[in-house]
Structure formats: structure tokens, C-alpha cells
Amino acid sequence: MSILRPGLFKDKVALVTGGATGIGRAITQELLSLDCKVVIASRKEERLHAAIQELCPNSPRLTAQVCNIRHEDQVKHLVSSMLKEHGKIDFLVNNGGGQFPSPVADMSVKGWNAVIDTNLTGTFIMCREVYRQWMCDHGGVIVNIIADMFRGFPMMAHSGAARAAVGNLTKSLSVEWAQNGVRINAVAPGSSIYSPTAASNYSDPDLFNRARAGIPMKRLGTTQEVSSAVCFLLSPGASFITGETLKVDGGSSLYSYLMWQIPEHDKLPAYSWTYKKPDTDEDDPPKAKL
């Protein structure tokens, strides 16, 4: 189970975009394990259906709605329908996003705009609508998932530009909305966070193994290690933290192995927890060590 106290988020309601796969799925799992009610949103209905069947079948604790966060009308409908169903939105996790690898010289304007619209504009619309429809009067907590783009993002410059902008947006909103009781932070997973969904986005099967050379911990990260950071920032333990970005990257954004060489080691093993499906005694099988 989560390292956080059981029942910590009882009677809380969370909205997680991109909550059906990868990092979003791990966040959804952990929120459910802490007794939170969760609504997940995605463009792909089949992914939402599969996530509900795997995580919390036949329970009102987890519901889903198809939504393209690039479309303002769909976001407005998502938020309003969630408020009709649950009466409030305590947490918003902006995990939905997407990109494709390409050198800048080969990018079309259409491709550039698609990534900017999804990762930056979509996050802006989600934040604004949740704020307008609920949090401006009731407060709440927002966590934006960005990326490890602090030394540039070659082959992903469109995503790097959008995620850096979301980091700055997070800082601005933390000041503008503080008087309304809203905390907002960002989590920056390293590019070495492994999940089958992430791996399927790249044609190079050895990409993640090569990434290990630039990680002081000498291993890949897990989606659960990202979800733990997110749930901490949502929790009362982070009640005096706002406008910050928490990196979950094993130190890779700090490491220059030309100046300081770290040998292979296993001194910092991966964190993993067993997820128990709500209202059942059934556990997910233990996760394999990376």
C-alpha cells in the first residue's frame, strides 16, 4: 500500500487527466488506495474502460469521462459534470499530455502546435476551469506533471518548451490563487521513468537502458515513485508548499559524468507498493525490480 496514512484522502475527490495509463495510472492507483474518489479523463475511451476494469471494477469510487483537454468546451463539460456527480473537486492532477520525437528542423507547425496545445494550453484550460467552477470559492490543490527539460530537451523541443511554460504557469498561479486557498505545484519526472506506455512511444528498444548511464542512482525510476511525490504534494504534509517543482529523476538533472563518474551500484533500490483494489482482498502482483 501507499507509504501515506491509510484513509488520508477519505471523502476527497480528485480529477486526474491521463489517468488511465503510465504515471497517471499509478497516481490513480495510489489515490484510490488512500480512499479518494477519482475521476479519470482521457481522449481514448478504451483506455479508460480498461483502467476501471483493472483498478476498481463495479465501484463508484472510480469513474471516467472522455475528454480532449485541447478543446475548451469538452473541459468545461468535464468539470461541470464532475461537480454534478460528486459536488466538489478537492484535487486536480494535470497529467494528460503527449509528444513525439523529432529534431526541430523536421517539425511542422501543425506538429509543434499539437504538442503545445496539449501540454501547455490543455493544462491552462484545466486549471482555469477547475478554478472558475469550484476552487475560486472553495480552495483546493493542483499538481501539474511536467518533465525533465532543465538542460534542454533535444528531440523533444516542442514538449520541453511547453513543459517549461507550465512550470512558470505554476509559479504564477500559486501567487494569483493563494488568496482563494489554492495550492499549486509541479512534479517533473525524469525521462528515465519506465512504464510500458512510455516505452511504446519510442521505436528504440534500448533507449531506457542507455539512459541509466546518466542517472546517479544507476537504475530507472518507477511510476509509483512519481505518484508518491504527487500524493505528498496533495497531502496536508505539503500545506506550506506552493509554486514549486519537485524533480523525480534520480539526480539525472544534476549529473555530469564527464566530471564525476559513478560506478554501477544497487544502493538506492526502487520503491514499490502493493495496490489493493478497493472493496476487495485482491492485490496486484508485485512489480518487477528494474
What is the band of 274 on the pLDDT scale with cuts at 50, 70, 90?
confident
Indicate the pTM of the whole model.
0.93
Average pLDDT, the chain: 92
How much of the chain, in percent, has pLDDT values that exceed 90?
81
CATH of 13-248, one of 2.60.40.1120, 3.40.50.720, 3.30.9.10, 3.40.50.10490: 3.40.50.720
Going by pLDDT thresholds of 50, 70 and 90, the confidence category of residue 194 is confident
pLDDT (tens digit per residue) in 80-103: 999 999 999 999 999 999 999 999
| pLDDT class of 280 with cuts at 50, 70, 90 | low
pLDDT bucket at 186, cuts 50 / 70 / 90:
very high
DSSP labels, 146-199 = ----BTB-TT-HHHHHHHHHHHHHHHHHHHHTGGGTEEEEEEEE-TTEE-HHHH
- What backbone torsions phi and psi does residue 119 show, to the nearest 5 degrees? -80, -35
Over residues 37-75, the pLDDT tens digits come to 999 999 999 999 999 999 999 889 999 999 999 999 999
Per-residue b or e along 135-160, where b marks 16 or more CB atoms closer than 10 Å to that residue's CB: bbeeebbbbbbbbbbbeebeebbbbb
Distance CA 273, CA 271 (A): 7
Q: Identify the CA nearest to 26 among candidates 124, 82, 95.
A: 95
Angle at which helix 157-176 crosses helix 109-116, to 10 degrees, equals 30
pLDDT at 290: 38
Show me where the domains of the chain are located: 13-248
